[in-house]
Chains A and B, each alone.
Chain A
Amino acid sequence: MSEHRKFDFKKQHFAGEEGHLIPLLQRAQETDGYITRERIAEIHKQCGIPLAQIYGVATFYAQFRLHPIGKNLIRVCHGTACHVSGANDITKAIEDTLGVCNGETTPDRLFTIETVSCLGCCSLAPVIMINHSTHGNLTEKEVKKVLKQYQKADIGEVQ
């Protein structure tokens, strides 16, 4: 993460529009990779939304993270189709390869593993998404190969 740049949330095009808290948080997460304490304080000060409400919304939705993540975010799909096609084995293979559990970040901050409900590519099950690329029809062997590519070339986009 680069050093903290202040936003002018009022100048964002959401300002003045009703119901802008979620887009504001989305914008903050896009910039910082997660919702930082500083951003929450900024939103509170600039928009006059109570802190409790901001935390309430930020913790309600699965999209928002209050902790930093690794450079490459691995989303392992656990939709119905992926579940019956062995998503648990895929998760385990990823955990074994990287040496961290689901929800954790590797010590070198290169990868974070996250399970998601459904990526909507059910006919390619089991599926994972690394940053913005989807990898489908995986086997345990295959997924290890995919991870190796990212480890070797470090090709993922910076989150």
Chain B
Amino acid sequence: MKILVGLGTCGIAAGAERTYEALAKSQAAGTVPFELDKTGCIGMCYREPLVEIRSDDGSRVQYGNVSADKVDKLLSEHVVQGKVIEDWLVWADDGRGSERAYFSHQTRIVLRNCGKINPESLEDYLAADGYKALRQVLDQNDPDALIASIVDSGLRGRGGAGFLTGMKWRFTRLAEGDRKFIICNADEGDPGAFMDRSVLESDPHSVLEGMVIAAFAIGANDGYIYVRAEYPKAIERLNIAVAQAEAAGFLGDDVCGKGFSFHVKLKEGAGAFVCGEETALMASIEGKRGMPRMRPPFPATKGLWDCPTSINNVETFANVPWIVLNGAQAFAAIGTANSKGTKVFAMAGKIKRGGLVEVPMGISIRDIVFDVCGGIKKDKKFKTVQMGGPSGGFIPAELQDTVIDYESINKTGAIMGSGGLVVMDDTTCMVDVTRFFLEFTQRESCGKCTFCRVGTKRMLEVLTRICDGNGREGDIELLEQLAVLTKNTSLCGLGTTAPNPVLTAIKYFRSEFEAHITNRRCPAHQCKPLLTYTILDSCVGCLLCAKVCPTKAITGELKKVHVLDQSKCTHCGECHKVCRVDAIAVY
């Protein structure tokens, strides 16, 4: 019997390391015999720490929220008595478990090994058909046929823009140059997106294998993985994987003994969102300030150190070995006419089952939110999803039947982006969230283009004054004008997409902006300067609110209804927070 503990960043944050240690201690004590191993993230962040028990006959049972103090019960009941603990059961391969629906709607290609294998073990990856695709590609020794099959598969770049991966490879292959590079973009900077981190932490070899295959296709002998320094676990596991692959001959001077040479280096990003843009990313690898440059020339002809370079995203690379092994047709059979395969989404926000899901293209937003992820937390009203982070936009609940493919998403004004999907309910203020995104893009603008540098700042100022209750007539139109100008006159993706949250928020939630400006009201009760607090007759007179009020605006006697002096109130909301009988109304 084997016990696996999910040790991704989410799991560790939820206490999985303590669970692992407790299990290791019991194992060392030797009273109950079992094997113990680590694995990556299976995607159910909302039930971490997760523990899987694999019986000798191969059957799998997964338990959720297994904190260290539950280890003894787990061992005595499941391992010793062979009894499944129904209350903790998340999922079992015989069809039981409360969270069955989470997996039954998914098609796992990118996440095929995540949460199944030990990410620090090359043997585990090899046992899961690892590096088989690379061997096959090297045996066939036909880069053009390989590129043709990637083109046929319809795989499009998963970093957000959605360019055909095979075409990118073809351009780079055809470009003239003695030295060519392949770069893996793992600078996952979108707030709300964490699928690349999870793939790198849970299955780093699949990304490496995809990279070596791509390198062979375009004729590159050097590669870089540009990974965020904020992802220490991913960096640690990538380093282990690179060392293992080098030792086993999957990387190095003579890959698989076929005479092809490929070396990979890790570059840690130093925290700049704009470095997700390919030309800025290359400037950063070259040791410069990460500022984008004009395209063309595209990296495929003039990239890193002016050499032809193909830059692909983590998820794109993780798809490649699967496509090689299963054939382009198998991949193209999944999805819609122009968007093939699957997409991994990082589900977060006001959603019941937050985590990673991999769904076939063509599924609707409604199905992801309600069928896969169980709907909105506390069954509140579904308001909107935000797709694509600060470069993306809002898709309102009315459009929840929009299907996931590049073109349909673009039509709404949002973008597919890298796959962050943040769900919002009716307690989210759209003006406030839009301001939040602009705060981000304004801070991260590299400053090269005037409209991005100044335009984002002006938009942020307007949004801030609307949230502060100082919105003016004409502010909405001003925002629209600034948004369009910034979109049209910026060089790189950061500036051209930064106005998307503003434009989509106004398009779908204009009345909320108007309520802030005209009526000085925040319908979602989030913008504090616009809120009015009053004490209801149900006040029991406990004096708690009077004590916390920083401006002494609340007065009253014990067991008598208190009084709030509006002229002194600073709208801080502390009274509302401490009231135990909900006697403070907010409107």
Contact = CB atoms under 8 A, between A and B. Distances in A.
Contacts of B193: 118, 120, 122
A117 B440 contact: yes
B14 A136 contact: yes
B509 to A, nearest CB: 15
A117 B191 contact: yes
A103 to B, nearest CB: 13
Given A22-B284, A79-B191, A84-B424, A134 B197 contact: no
B194 A121 contact: yes
B174 interface: no
B49 to A, nearest CB: 11
Interface stretch (B109-117, B342-350, B530-538): B342-350
A85 B437 CA distance: 15
Contacts of A135: 13
B420 to A, nearest CB: 7
A78 B288 CA distance: 27
A48 interface: no
A123 B286 contact: no
B312 interface: no
B45 A19 contact: no
A84 B422 contact: yes
Interface stretch (B89-97, B208-216, B264-272, B395-403): B264-272
Contacts of A57: 287-289
A109 B255 CA distance: 51
Interface in B456-472: none
Contacts of A85: 349-350
Contacts of A121: 9-10, 13, 45, 194
B355 A117 contact: no
Interface string B52-74: 00000000000000000000000
B131 interface: no
B365 interface: no
A74 interface: no
B428 A120 contact: no
A25 B347 CA distance: 35
Of A63, A121, A127, most buried by chain B (CB within 10 Å of CB) is A121
A26 B433 contact: no
- Please report whether the interface of chain B is mostly helix, strand, loop or mixed according to DSSP: mixed
Interface string A3-32: 000000000000000111111011000000
B348 A80 contact: yes
A82 B436 CA distance: 11
A100 interface: no
Interface residues of B, number: 54
A125 interface: yes
A153 interface: no
Chain A interface residue bracket vs B? 35 or more
Interface in B284-317: 284-290, 305
A84 B349 contact: yes
Interface string A21-59: 111011000000000000000000000000001001100
A112 B147 CA distance: 50
Contacts of B9: 120-121, 134
B287 A83 contact: no
A83 B229 CA distance: 22
A61 B267 CA distance: 14
A156 B270 CA distance: 23
A120 B230 contact: yes
B152 interface: no
Contacts of A62: 270-272
Contacts of A21: 287-288
* Residue of A62, A83, A120, A127 contacting most chain B CB atoms (<10 Å): A120
Given A57-B287, A60-B290, A117-B189, A122 B271 contact: no
Given A80-B386, A83-B433, A117-B444, 13 more contacts: A18-B286, A63-B270, A80-B349, A81-B354, A84-B350, A84-B422, A84-B428, A117-B440, A118-B189, A121-B10, A121-B13, A134-B9, A135-B13
22 contacts: A21-B287, A23-B267, A25-B270, A57-B289, A60-B272, A61-B271, A63-B270, A79-B191, A80-B389, A80-B437, A81-B192, A81-B354, A81-B422, A84-B433, A85-B349, A118-B190, A119-B230, A120-B194, A120-B231, A121-B45, A132-B232, A136-B13
Give the 9 A-B CB pairs with smallest separation, nearest first.
A123-B354, A79-B191, A122-B348, A62-B271, A123-B45, A61-B270, A134-B13, A81-B348, A19-B287
Interface of A: 18-23, 25-26, 53, 56-57, 60-64, 78-85, 116-125, 127, 132, 134-136
